[in-house]
Structure 1
């Protein structure tokens, strides 16, 4: 597993991975993490990409999902704040694998790649190394569940969870964050789905599943 920033021999440093799983997938009617693209479950695709930039990779999930995700053969971390959404997943991953840096990724971005993750890391390195770096889609939507976080973000995360403040963007607002535009990613194939595409409905899944990337 690779922990380098970029492909040009830049400084290497330890990054732990957090694979954020769980969630109710209400609109889909099935667990989005297990939907297959090119014969591979979405969560396995994300795990493989994350494993290229982070080690170890920990699956943050509730007790209900643990057996379903055991096929990944990755360590799992149960939420200490059950029912508190993705913030609890990030917290569980940070708590389970002590590190200076963490790269988080949600399990339902089937087209995210290691190259796109490295693009975020490269932008972070050039920016002066802030506490966090997350991507912004071409439509201007921030994807806070995919990105780099320093351990210094953990205290504010614990406060937010303890106070029941569960909006990820509210937590992000209290951090020094680099927002990385998707447009700058040179590795995107013309016509291919965005690496930030989140599939939420059966109709969206049928369309996305036609791609073999």
Structure 2
């Protein structure tokens, strides 16, 4: 059975250090007058039920940002900005649904049909995790692992993985039945890694 949106909690991952942006809080950088995280929330909201924001800085700003969407802000339970898996764990623990759909805060153009295609794949393959691949003009395939639909029942295994000092998303996915879903529009998954890239996108 494929989960419908009411059984999916959306999770915006905004808890990173923003190292490649000089340490700024990436989700709060503005594009066309709105914070990047707000763009992602707008894209996720119609595709999910409840919404969560994983943020380790400026919780009051994210709380205000998420208020129109009914989003709850939560921080990592592990210290030291340990990476996206820590944000995923916080989301899996906090979700009151059977599934979590995660997306990074720096991808303002994520597809409006992301949840649909991932739920279809998860159900048809009876998988635990569904994630995203794209192919560029030269035929190179890229995996976008932090775009994922995951069963919340994976939380304990993820906690054990992190407690063992592991941090790599792909390594944890390899422990579970994971299906990779090909999306045609690679631009939809374009993530902004620098202030220059943000300025370039602002001019588009």
TM category, shorter: 0.7 to 0.9
Of the three residues 63, 67, 71, the one matched with 1:70 is 63
1:52-81 C-alpha deviation (Å, 9 max, x unpaired): 12121011122x331231222121122111
Cα distance in 1, alignment partners of residues 58 and 73 from structure 2: 10
1:135 aligns with 2:132: yes
Shift of 1:13: 5.5
Shift of 1:206: 1.8
Shift of 1:104: 1.0
**8 A Cα contact 1:58 1:77, kept in partner:** yes
Change (3 A) 1:14 1:48: same
Q: How does 1:182-197 map to 2 (within 5 A)?
A: 182-183=183-184, 188=185, 194-197=187-190
**8 A Cα contact 1:120 1:133, kept in partner:** yes
**Residue matched to 1:96:** 94
Q: When the two structures are superposed, what TM-score results if normalisation uses the length of structure 2?
A: 0.85
Shift of 1:180: 0.8
**Residue matched to 1:175:** 176
CA-atom RMSD in angstroms: 2.1
**Residue matched to 2:13:** 20
1:206 aligns with 2:204: no
In structure 2, list runs of 5 or more residues that go unmatched.
Answer: none
Q: How does 1:145-160 map to 2 (within 5 A)?
A: 145-160=146-161
Cα distance in 1, alignment partners of residues 5 and 15 from structure 2: 31
1:175-198 C-alpha deviation (Å, 9 max, x unpaired): 101101122xxxx5xxxx711111
1:48 aligns with 2:42: yes
Cα distance in 1, alignment partners of residues 177 and 171 from structure 2: 13
- Flag the structure with higher helix content: 2
